[in-house]
Every structure is written in C-alpha cells, then in structure tokens.
Amino acid sequence: MIRMATEDDLAAIMRIENESFSAPRWTEENYRSMIFRGEAKVYPLIGVAEIENGIAGFIAAHVLSGEECHLESIAVAAAFQRRGIARALVQWLLTQAGPVPCLLEVRESNEPALALYRGLGFSSIGRRKNYYTHPTEDALVLRTLP
C-alpha cells in the first residue's frame, strides 16, 4: 500500500536513502521539510510503500498545482526491489499530481531507473552537464505528458 509519509517514517526513509545513493544527498531535515502539510500553489509530498514491518521504499516530489510535478527522489530497499514497488510509487505520484507533466533528473548510467521511467511513459527531453558528483556524471532530464 502506498500512503503519504509522516514524521514517523523519517528514520526508515533515511535508512533507505543512505543505502541507495553513492553521494550524500538529502538530510533528515530535508525530508522533514517535504512531508505533505496541505495543498498550496507549490507543495511537497512524500509517499511511502508500506509493508508488514515498516516501509520498503519512498518517493519525494514537488507539485506545482495544475502545472507540473517534479520527482525529486525515489528509492526501494534492496531486499524489496524488482517487485513493482517503484512502479507503484511513481503511479501513485502521477495520480496525486493530477493531469500535469512530470519531470525528473536521472544519472545517465542508471539503467534500472531509466528502464523504470521509460516503462511508465517518460521520455528524454534534455541533459544537464555534470549535474551529479561522486562520481561526476550528466543527468538526463525526463518528462511524461499528462
């Protein structure tokens, strides 16, 4: 089941974040500031995939109401990968955001993520040179139509 994250999920989100990414990215405070606190013109939200004893993955995004959605982060704990959890998280986000385009950046070497996004109808619309560090790498910018 996918549901909105609460402050109680932050420790689990940080565990999955830290095991999933090569470079330090977001702190617990960053994620805390992204917990959904009601709709506004621009609002953040985090969804979590709940399992029996905790959460298996999360998705974090910003929604610009009626205009655009930006997927900021998604990760699934290694033990729960390849079960359709990331696909369910992205589909949940697209439903939450409504009929607006969704954009994201992804390392160009991240084949699992690229396969995930392409399978959900995202296509590449550009590149950001040296967007990532540790290791330095370009980002591909992907977008889906509503």
Ligand X SMILES: CC(C)(COP(=O)(O)OP(=O)(O)OC[C@H]1O[C@@H](n2cnc3c(N)ncnc32)[C@H](O)[C@@H]1OP(=O)(O)O)[C@@H](O)C(=O)NCCC(=O)NCCS
Q: Which residues bind ligand X (CB under 6 A)?
A: 20, 74-76, 81-87, 106, 110-113, 115-116, 119
Q: Can you tell me the distance from the alpha carbon of 18 to that of 22, in angstroms, rounded to the nearest whole number?
A: 8
Catalytic residue among 17, 31, 72, 117: 117
Which residue, 27, 90, 8, is CA-closest to 57?
Answer: 90
With contact defined as beta carbons under 8 Å apart, do 134 and 23 qualify?
Answer: yes
Complex with ligand X: residue 65 or 141, whichever CB lies closer = 141
Complex with ligand X: residue 61 or 75, whichever CB lies closer = 75
With contact defined as beta carbons under 8 Å apart, do 28 and 10 qualify?
Answer: yes
Catalytic residue among 17, 31, 72, 105: 105
Q: Can you tell me the distance from the alpha carbon of 58 to that of 73, in angstroms, rounded to the nearest whole number?
A: 8
CB of 22 to ligand X, least distance (A): 9
Instruction: Give catalytic status of residue 105 as yes or no.
Output: yes
CB of 81 to ligand X, least distance (A): 3
CB of 41 to ligand X, least distance (A): 25
Tell me, what amino acid is at 31?
Y
Complex with ligand X: residue 65 or 108, whichever CB lies closer = 108
CB of 45 to ligand X, least distance (A): 17
With contact defined as beta carbons under 8 Å apart, do 89 and 74 qualify?
Answer: yes
Complex with ligand X: residue 39 or 136, whichever CB lies closer = 136
Q: Is 100 helix (H, G, I), strand (E, B) or coil?
A: coil
Instruction: Give catalytic status of residue 7 as yes or no.
Output: no
Tell me, what amino acid is at 55?
I
- Active-site residue numbers? 105, 117
